[in-house]
Amino acid sequence: MKYIYPTFFLYFLLSFESYSQNSLPDSVGNLKNSKWVVQYDGRYSFINKNPTHFYGFLVGEIFQRKNLFSIGIYTNISPYKPYYQEQEIFDVALNTTVQEKSNFHINYLSFAYERTYFHRKRFYFNLPVEIGIGYGKAYLLQTSPISRVEKIIYSKYIPIQIGNEVEYKILDWLSARAQIGYRYSILNKVINKNFNVNYNGFYYSFGLRVYTFKLINKFILKKKTP
């Protein structure tokens, strides 16, 4: 999974290169039909014993006004509050109190298709379907007066999800979006047992979508037009 970040970066560069070659016609006015988007996502689980959160962004291209194909990268590592646990447990076998510290993170690459099935004025209703591939890494440290146990657990992570999304066009190049859906995840059972996390279930997400090259056209290319 170490190739996730280079793959995403290469995809973005190729996307930009493709756009540069195919979308610079004789008339700058044609650039108004650019289809590339960049989107920030915050994904949160509904009521759960240990709620799960994902943060990330995606880039994609819209075809025939209604079909968005995208690739994104996500992590559960929050820049504000990393996933970290510390607790005391009583070990009956050792007959002593054990101090337990743990942290856990997931990184994954997402491939998604989104279909706009209804559009009215500034509102768009979309149906996104997504499958991802990534990895999880768990670290567990248990210490007591008579023992020290350290574990590192790796696991593949494959999320599959479908949702329903509402998008509101704030500006020609910027929109706000909110989504609700269901996620099923393939994750090592040992991690679920030790960290009491559950990545299966209903989720909601929200974020901003930027129609990147419309933004470039409006503020940069348009100024260069003679």
Q: Is 99 a domain residue?
A: no
pLDDT attached to residue 215: 81
Q: Tell me the C-alpha distance between 211 and 200, whole Å.
A: 31
Range of the domain at 212: 4-24+33-80+106-132+156-224
pLDDT tens sequence across 93-121: 767 787 777 777 889 999 999 999 999 98
DSSP 144-180: ETTEEEEEEEEEEEEEEEEEEEEEEEEETTEEEEEEE
pLDDT tens sequence across 58-102: 999 888 888 999 999 999 876 555 556 676 777 667 677 877 777
Confidence of residue 145 (pLDDT cuts 50, 70, 90): confident
Q: Is 143 a domain residue?
A: no
Q: Is 88 a domain residue?
A: no
Residue 22 has pLDDT above 60, yes or no: no
> What is the count of structural domains for the chain?
1
pLDDT tens sequence across 184-209: 988 876 666 656 566 788 889 989 99
Residue 6 has pLDDT above 70, yes or no: no
pLDDT attached to residue 194: 59
Q: Tell me the C-alpha distance between 15 and 37, whole Å.
A: 11
Mean pLDDT, residues 127-141 taken together: 90
**pLDDT cut 70: percent of the chain above it:** 69
Question: pTM score, two decimals?
Answer: 0.72
Q: Identify the three-state secondary structure at position 134.
A: strand
Q: Tell me the C-alpha distance between 82 and 101, whole Å.
A: 13
Q: Is 149 a domain residue?
A: no
Q: Is 101 a domain residue?
A: no
Q: What is the CATH number of the domain that holds 121?
A: 2.40.160.20
Report which of residues 226 and 115 the model is more confident about: 115
Report which of residues 54 and 199 the model is more confident about: 54
pLDDT attached to residue 79: 53
Residue 221 has pLDDT above 90, yes or no: no
Residue 180 has pLDDT above 90, yes or no: yes
Instruction: Output the six-digit token pair for 26.
Output: 């004789």
Report which of residues 20 and 47 the model is more confident about: 47
Q: Is 100 a domain residue?
A: no
- Mean pLDDT (the chain, rounded): 76
Q: Is 182 a domain residue?
A: yes
Q: Is 138 a domain residue?
A: no
